[in-house]
Amino acid sequence: MKSLNYLFLTATVALTMAMGANAGGNPGASPALGVLSTVASAELPAKAAELVAQADAKTLKQTTIDVVRAAVGLNPSAAPAIVGSVAKASPDMAATATATAVAMVPNQVVFIARFAASAAPAKAGAIVEAICRVLPSDYKIAAEAVAEVVPGADKEILAGIEAALPELKPAIDQALGSYQGSIPSVNMVLAQVDQSESSAGIVAAGTPGASPSAPASPVLPRGPSVGPPAVPPSGTPTVVTPGAGGVIPTGGIRGYSSP
């Protein structure tokens, strides 16, 4: 029995040393990757959440980043579930986990946003802000996805957009002002923002300093051509029928000879 325990301990030490050697040879290797690579794909979300929850306060954020990177790298299709699991276990890390995942698999931004917001609804605004900072062009679909799963968080979601994309703040504030203090839905506000941005683009195209395409030159009517005045023929023109007699005008007819 002692010999079996000794063999097991020896194997464990050897494995630990091998993992340490590999990590030393690759400075970028994450300890989380070594742990997560030993679990089944179906267990990745739960294991990732466990590793984050066990981290101390000083290394919590970096641990979340490392764990999510490792887990999503092992199974990209599980990114929404991984983020959701981490967000549920550690709500304060929901935004960090979301930002890390969407940077790796941006095509899953809508699903990641929904899972994260469902797991940590109190962090809806922070989740949207995190996504907007990583994928600013997807701010609308991300905000609407979070708004779907966290009804009543419209104010926080819009604040998250403004924090990440301050250039949209004037348009959002203008849209909110039209509702006289009541908070409309995220969809309604962003629809007005889209319309406002389109109008601004049209106005900017006609402002001084813009470079509109040059208009086509107008086609002017042509005046009469300049030339010598027309001179009417002298004498009175007469129709002559050959063989019927008649008067031949002075000077004769070209190509005609008298009979």
The confidence score (pLDDT) of residue 64 equals: 97
In a domain, 196, yes or no: no
The confidence score (pLDDT) of residue 195 equals: 85
In a domain, 108, yes or no: yes
In a domain, 81, yes or no: yes
In a domain, 87, yes or no: yes
Q: How far is CA 251 from CA 37, 232, 239, 241, 254, in A?
A: 117, 15, 14, 17, 9
The confidence score (pLDDT) of residue 30 equals: 76
In a domain, 55, yes or no: yes
What are the pLDDT digits (tens) for 7-58? 333 333 333 333 333 333 343 457 889 999 999 999 999 999 999 999 999 9
8 A C-beta contact, residue 132 and residue 139: yes
Query: Residue 164 belongs to what domain range?
Result: 36-168
pLDDT over threshold 80, residue 165: yes
Continuous H helices in the chain: 2-25, 31-36, 44-54, 60-74, 79-89, 94-104, 109-119, 124-134, 139-149, 154-164, 169-177, 186-205
What are the pLDDT digits (tens) for 194-246? 887 665 554 344 434 443 334 444 444 444 545 555 555 555 554 444 444 44
pLDDT over threshold 60, residue 142: yes
CA end-to-end distance (rounded Å), the chain = 152
- How far apart are alpha carbons 187 and 9 in whole angstroms? 60
Give residue 155's pLDDT band: very low, low, confident or very high (50, 70, 90).
Answer: very high
In a domain, 88, yes or no: yes
For 102-124, b/e burial (b = at least 16 CB within 10 A) is bbebeebbbbbbbbbbbbbbebb
Burial of 61 (0-12, 13-18, 19+ CB in 10 A): middle
Domain count, the chain: 1
The dihedral sign for the CA sequence 73, 75, 78, 83: negative
The confidence score (pLDDT) of residue 233 equals: 52
In a domain, 177, yes or no: no
pTM greater than the 0.75 cutoff: no
In a domain, 242, yes or no: no
pLDDT over threshold 60, residue 138: yes
What are the pLDDT digits (tens) for 85-121? 999 999 999 999 999 999 999 999 999 999 999 999 9
